[in-house]
A and B are shown apart, each in its own frame.
Chain A
């Protein structure tokens, strides 16, 4: 079955540590996205990538980094520079559309808690 796999589902981190969240898709989609979800707020875009070895900052990229070395993989690193990293993180992908984003496919999410 095609889909998006995120890991880990739950992650605890001490302040000052970097953590990397994994996102893998086998849908052969060109575009991949990382979103952050906080209570009472809509999803906010962290980074996105439309092609291998290229990615763009979203609305809240500060304190995060990504890479896109393979089409199917788009890991997100939450660095110690991120001031408030406790949140639910969602990875998504779409076939690269023209007029619009295209049908969205999401992973199950990763919940990060900073202790």
Chain B
């Protein structure tokens, strides 16, 4: 069993839909990262959080330390949100999930 598991692996949505991507981990962490990998391959950091909830624009990230679970939500999804979303457990050694591929259609 992987130490960091993401679900779903693939996700298809219509523009405007509310999206949720889940990340569960089995290790102790000091923080959890959410990253976005765009089709060209480059990766952008979206959030680093160690408790509670953070919000940037239409993106919301939550974490439940007791349950070892984090979620990334996208409100009012748009085709430009199409990307691979990766969570990483920070121990501080980073353990990466395998990613969730999101496609948003107009």
Contact = CB atoms under 8 A, between A and B. Distances in A.
Interface of A: 40-45, 88, 90, 92, 97, 99-109, 111
Main secondary structure of the interface of B (DSSP, over half): strand
B11 interface: no
Interface in B61-106: 86, 88, 90, 92-99
Contacts, number: 62
Given A101-B90, A101-B92, A111 B97 contact: no
B31 interface: yes
B94 A45 contact: yes
B96 A97 contact: no
Interface residues on B, range: 20 to 34
Interface of B: 2, 4, 30-31, 33, 35, 40-45, 48, 50, 86, 88, 90, 92-99
Contact of B45 (A41, A44, A45, A104): A104
Contacts of A111: 41
B48 A100 contact: yes
A42 B99 CA distance: 7
